[in-house]
Structure 1
């Protein structure tokens, strides 16, 4: 299968690199600035003792020569609209798209543009970040891809997708209920993001103060209540893992949202929090802590955008 990885950042770049190493037919679609950096330094994966340098096939929008078999979409949710426009020429009648974005709002956007039949659900779990030089830095030994047909869809070539993504240097799984898995990841992302961004510290720093663990638990409860109302209650093991992650004493865990905020970068406020609060309002569920996190991060986002305009 011809694979197009849209985005070569911390997530797409990492899993794309592993697929390249496994001999898959992979092309990266990137913006000009990222293309220049990759031309200069290659695609580098570092951290945890690794020093990998690859020279994969890299193209811009103008270089797309026709449809690909599989599109792996791994951009920040704030860049989704541009990515949809960029990738349109690479999507044909037999193309399957697997998005690995936070939240669920992107599903509606992609389905409206390319149709339900082309769209799988996907969950990526990886602890990576881009450093100042654009290299992918591994922060922990977490790496996992899950994907599958969403409820009400029956995409062709699903087994072939699973075959080409498997045995490529990271665990994979063809999910029988990818919708619930996407909701479970949303609960985790929103919980860790709210706890660390509101309190401006790591999980360990939050739970070290009186009331910190109780606050973190209340955040998880709010997130889980929205998922349950939507018909996708988090499985008990996933919920226990999320609760343990945000209440672990001494944990250095933060979140990509926290890193974006503390470094003055744009954050996925509406995709992770705004959409979750909107759904809670529709279900008539009170989520005051999530509402507080949303307002807090919207102030940050306005600040970032005002700086960019100025």
Structure 2
């Protein structure tokens, strides 16, 4: 398949590399020092699932790439609309775009620009970061993709990409309900990102401290309530199950929100804890924990 990774950071860089290793033609889009390093030295992946160093096809401008079959859309949430606009030259009649971002509004945001018939739902479960320009570091064992059609016409394309992922030894699945699956990730991610970012600590510290564990749980419960209010079929015991899952994660794991905060970068908080506060307000109730976390992070949202 011809695949493009719009955003060659932790998610796009890691999974794009695995797909290239399996023989697919992968094009990466990047900017700045990361782009320069990829052009000069190639892409390096450091992972318990196997290290790799690959010569890659990488551009800053998608107009240089040509039409592809699948786009892994993995830019930061603040860059969603502008990145979708830049993608137009690689999106052909049969191209599908799969957002692997952290929020639950990406399908609508990207679809509003490229056409809703082009955009599937997707979630990535992985702990990665750009360790240095051109280098992707994967922490822990988790590396999983969920994606699926939001329209019946998208199913064949989704299944074709699923086979490509399996051929690349990527743990991937098409869930029965991709909207619910995306919200399941969102509930957990909002809790994890809120607790790790506010405390400036990895998950091991969060889950061991009773007050931070409470914050993690309450941020998830508020997000779960918003999802249910919006008609998402989240299980009654979902938050309890996610708390148990948090106890299995590598103690040093940090949410990308904390990585960005530590590096002085822009934050995705408006589309995570901020989005929960906004959606709760629209539904007629308050989400005080997420609202408080968002308030605490607001001075850092634009980076330094």
Is the alpha carbon distance of 1:194 and 1:170 closer, same or farther for their aligned partners in structure 2, counting shifts above 3 Å?
A: same
The residue aligned with 1:154 is 153
- Pairwise CA distance, 1:132: 2.7
Are 1:195 and 2:195 an aligned pair?
yes
- Pairwise CA distance, 1:283: 1.0
Instruction: Output the CA distance in 2 between the equivalents of 1:235 and 1:64.
Output: 45
Instruction: Output the CA distance in 2 between the equivalents of 1:162 and 1:209.
Output: 39
The residue aligned with 1:279 is 279
Given that 2:127 and 2:253 are in contact with CA atoms closer than 8 Å, whether structure 1 keeps it comes out as no
Q: Secondary structure at the match of 1:266?
A: coil
Coordinate RMSD, CA, aligned:
2.4
Instruction: Output the CA distance in 2 between the equivalents of 1:271 and 1:45.
Output: 28
Instruction: Output the CA distance in 2 between the equivalents of 1:33 and 1:203.
Output: 29
Q: Secondary structure at the match of 2:89?
A: helix
- Pairwise CA distance, 1:208: 4.1
Query: Which digits, 9 at most, give the CA deviation of each residue in 1:189-218, with x for residues without a partner?
Result: 100011122233233434444544333322
The residue aligned with 2:11 is 11
Instruction: Output the CA distance in 2 between the equivalents of 1:99 and 1:249.
Output: 24
Q: Secondary structure at the match of 1:147?
A: strand
- Pairwise CA distance, 1:241: 3.7
TM-score normalized with structure 2 length: 0.90
The residue aligned with 2:35 is 35
The residue aligned with 1:45 is 45
Are 1:174 and 2:174 an aligned pair?
yes
Q: Give unpaired runs (5+ residues) of structure 1.
A: none
Greater CA deviation, 21-30 or 214-223?
214-223
Instruction: Output the CA distance in 2 between the equivalents of 1:49 and 1:182.
Output: 25
The residue aligned with 2:217 is 217
Instruction: Output the CA distance in 2 between the equivalents of 1:165 and 1:42.
Output: 22
Is the alpha carbon distance of 1:264 and 1:175 closer, same or farther for their aligned partners in structure 2, counting shifts above 3 Å?
A: same
Is the alpha carbon distance of 1:47 and 1:273 closer, same or farther for their aligned partners in structure 2, counting shifts above 3 Å?
A: same
TM-score normalized with structure 1 length: 0.89
- Pairwise CA distance, 1:154: 2.8
Instruction: Output the CA distance in 2 between the equivalents of 1:40 and 1:116.
Output: 37
Is the alpha carbon distance of 1:58 and 1:211 closer, same or farther for their aligned partners in structure 2, counting shifts above 3 Å?
A: closer
Are 1:164 and 2:164 an aligned pair?
yes
Query: Which digits, 9 at most, give the CA deviation of each residue in 1:255-282, with x for residues without a partner?
Result: 1111221332211011112222111111
- Pairwise CA distance, 1:237: 7.0
- Pairwise CA distance, 1:144: 0.7
- Pairwise CA distance, 1:79: 2.0
Q: Aligned residue pairs: how many?
A: 303
Q: Give unpaired runs (5+ residues) of structure 2.
A: none
Q: Secondary structure at the match of 1:95?
A: strand
The residue aligned with 2:235 is 235
Runs of 4+ in 1 over 6 A off after TM superposition: 247-250
Given that 1:208 and 1:249 are in contact with CA atoms closer than 8 Å, whether structure 2 keeps it comes out as no
Instruction: Output the CA distance in 1 between the equivalents of 2:215 and 2:296.
Output: 16
Instruction: Output the CA distance in 2 between the equivalents of 1:253 and 1:236.
Output: 27
Q: Secondary structure at the match of 1:48?
A: coil
Query: Which digits, 9 at most, give the CA deviation of each residue in 1:137-174, with x for residues without a partner?
Result: 12111111111012x55325333222222221221112
